[in-house]
Amino acid sequence: MLRAVLVFFMAALLCVTLTGCGRNYHVDLEAVIIEPSEELLVVSCVSSSNPRIHEGDIAKVRVDIISTEGIDLLHEGDRIHVIYTADTMQDGTLLIYNVLAVYLLDENEHEIELETKPQEGAVLTETTGGT
C-alpha cells in the first residue's frame, strides 16, 4: 500500500512539473511593421520578453488570426504587440508558435485590439537574426 501511494505521489509530482504547475506563460514581442500583406507581416523587433529575440531582428508574423478588417488597419511603420506562448529553434531560425493576439499600438503606446477570426490550429511567427 505504501508503495502504491509513493508511486502515485511521484506520478503526480512529475505531472505538475511537466505542466508548469498549471501556469499559463506567455511571451510578448513589440515590433515595427516593415512590410504588411494579407497573409504575413514582416516586422523589425523592438523588444521582447524572450531573451533570444533582440532589437533589430527581423520576424515574419503570420496574421491568420486577424480578420480582414483588422488587417486593413495595419500599415508600414505601425508598431504592434504580439502575444504568444511557445517557441523553438529550427535550422537557425526562431519559430514562434501559438500566437494568442496581435495589437496595434497607437502613438501613446495604447493597444488597439484587432478583430480576430475563429482559429482551428496554431499560428506561426518566424524570426531570423537581425543586425
Q: What is the pLDDT of residues 27-85, one digit of tens each?
A: 899 999 998 988 778 888 999 998 888 999 887 787 778 888 898 999 999 999 988 77
The single-letter code of the amino acid at 6 is L
CA–CA gap between residue 120 and residue 90 (Å, rounded): 23
Domain boundaries, the chain: 25-128
What is the radius of gyration, based on Cα positions, of the chain?
18
Whole-structure pTM value: 0.68
For residues 30 and 61, give the distance between their C-alpha atoms in angstroms, rounded to a whole number: 12
Contacts of 28 (CB under 8 A, 6+ apart): 48, 49, 81, 82, 83
User: pLDDT per residue over 78-121, tens digit each?
Assistant: 999 988 776 665 555 566 667 788 899 999 999 998 888 775 55
